[in-house]
Amino acid sequence: MTIPATLGFRANARAVLVLGLPLIGSHMAQFGLHVTDTIMLGWYGVIDLAAGALGATMFFAFFTFGAGYANAVMPMVATSAAAGEETEVRRATRMGMWLSLAYAAVVLPFFLFAAPILLALGQEPEVSALGGAYLAIVGFGLGPALLVMVLKSYLAALGRTQVVLWVTVSAVFVNIGLNWILIFGNLGAPEMGARGAALASVFVQLFTLGVMLAYAVWLPALRRYELMVRFWRPDWQALRQVNALGLPIGLAMLAETGLFAASAVMMGWLGAHPLAAHSIALEITAMFFMVHMGLSNAATVLVGRARGRRDIDGLRAAARASLILSMGVALATMLVYFTLGELMVGAFLAPDNPERAVIVPLGVTLLWVAALFQLADGGQAMAMGLLRGIQDTRMPMVIAAISYWLIGIPVSYALAFIAGFDGVGLWVVLVGGVPLPRRVGAGRRHGQPRSWMRIMLPAGSRIAQSRTP
The answer to whether position 376 is within a domain reads yes
Domain termination site, one of 234, 265, 290: 234
- Shared domain for 118 and 204, answered yes or no, is yes
* Coil vs helix vs strand at 448: coil
- Shared domain for 230 and 255, answered yes or no, is no
- Shared domain for 321 and 458, answered yes or no, is yes
Residue 214's pLDDT is what?
94
How far apart, in whole angstroms, are the C-alpha atoms of residue 404 and residue 159? Answer: 33
How far apart, in whole angstroms, are the C-alpha atoms of residue 58 and residue 343? Answer: 31
Side chain identity, residue 265 = V
- The pLDDT tens digits of the residues spanning 330-354 come to 999 999 999 999 998 888 776 777 7
> CA dihedral defined by 60, 65, 69, 71, rounded to 10 degrees?
70
Write the CA distances from 74 to 4, 14, 34, 212, 252, integer angstroms.
Answer: 22, 20, 24, 15, 17
Contact 104, 69 (CB under 8 A): no
Side chain identity, residue 371 = A
- CB atoms closer than 10 angstroms to residue 116: 11
Residue 139's pLDDT is what?
95
Nearest to 296 by CA among 372, 164, 167, 386: 386
Contacts of 364 (CB under 8 A, 6+ apart): 341, 342, 345
Contact 430, 259 (CB under 8 A): yes
Say if residue 119 is exposed, middle or buried (CB neighbours under 10 Å; 0-12, 13-18, 19+).
Answer: middle
Angle between helices 236-269 and 86-112 (to 10 degrees): 40
The answer to whether position 7 is within a domain reads no
Domain termination site, one of 234, 267, 301: 234
- Shared domain for 280 and 311, answered yes or no, is yes
- Shared domain for 226 and 331, answered yes or no, is no
- CB atoms closer than 10 angstroms to residue 251: 19
- CB atoms closer than 10 angstroms to residue 350: 9
- Shared domain for 179 and 252, answered yes or no, is no
Could you tell me the maximum CA-CA distance found in the chain, to the nearest angstrom?
A: 70
The answer to whether position 467 is within a domain reads no
DSSP symbols for 200-252 = HHHHHHHHHHHHHHHHHHH-GGGGGG-TTTTTTS--HHHHHHHHHHHHHHHHH
How far apart, in whole angstroms, are the C-alpha atoms of residue 428 and residue 408? Answer: 10
The answer to whether position 9 is within a domain reads no
Taking only the tens of pLDDT, the chain with its 469 residues reads 333 445 577 888 888 888 888 988 888 888 888 888 877 887 887 788 778 877 887 888 899 999 999 989 999 999 898 888 889 999 999 999 999 999 999 999 999 998 898 888 777 788 889 989 999 999 999 999 999 999 999 999 998 988 989 999 999 999 999 999 999 999 999 999 999 999 999 999 999 999 999 999 988 888 888 888 888 888 899 999 999 988 988 888 888 777 777 777 777 778 767 877 887 788 788 888 888 888 888 888 888 888 888 888 888 888 888 889 989 999 999 999 999 999 988 887 767 777 788 888 998 999 998 888 788 778 878 887 888 777 777 777 777 777 777 777 788 888 888 888 888 888 887 766 554 444 444 444 443 334 444 434 433 333 333 333 3
How far apart, in whole angstroms, are the C-alpha atoms of residue 104 and residue 419? Answer: 42
Residue 432's pLDDT is what?
61
Domain termination site, one of 213, 234, 255: 234
- Shared domain for 149 and 221, answered yes or no, is yes
How far apart, in whole angstroms, are the C-alpha atoms of residue 247 and residue 394? Answer: 9
- Shared domain for 120 and 199, answered yes or no, is yes
Nearest to 377 by CA among 466, 257, 293, 270: 293
- Shared domain for 285 and 353, answered yes or no, is yes
How far apart, in whole angstroms, are the C-alpha atoms of residue 355 and residue 360? Answer: 9
Domain around 325:
247-462
How far apart, in whole angstroms, are the C-alpha atoms of residue 9 and residue 15? Answer: 10
Residue 348's pLDDT is what?
72
Q: Is 187 left (phi over 0), alpha (psi -120 to 50) or beta?
A: left
The answer to whether position 242 is within a domain reads no
The answer to whether position 469 is within a domain reads no
**Across the chain, what does the average pLDDT equal?**
82
Contact 90, 228 (CB under 8 A): no
Contact 435, 377 (CB under 8 A): yes
Side chain identity, residue 445 = R
The answer to whether position 12 is within a domain reads no
- Shared domain for 229 and 254, answered yes or no, is no
Residue 167's pLDDT is what?
93
> CA dihedral defined by 386, 244, 22, 144, rounded to 10 degrees?
-160
Write the CA distances from 141 to 60, 97, 177, 253, 293, integer angstroms.
Answer: 12, 14, 18, 20, 24
Helix H or strand E encompassing 409: helix 409-413
> CA dihedral defined by 386, 390, 391, 396, rounded to 10 degrees?
-40
- Shared domain for 217 and 260, answered yes or no, is no
Say if residue 129 is exposed, middle or buried (CB neighbours under 10 Å; 0-12, 13-18, 19+).
Answer: middle
The answer to whether position 143 is within a domain reads yes
- Shared domain for 230 and 251, answered yes or no, is no
- Total domains in the fold of the chain: 2
Residue 433's pLDDT is what?
54
Residue 134's pLDDT is what?
94
Contact 138, 57 (CB under 8 A): no
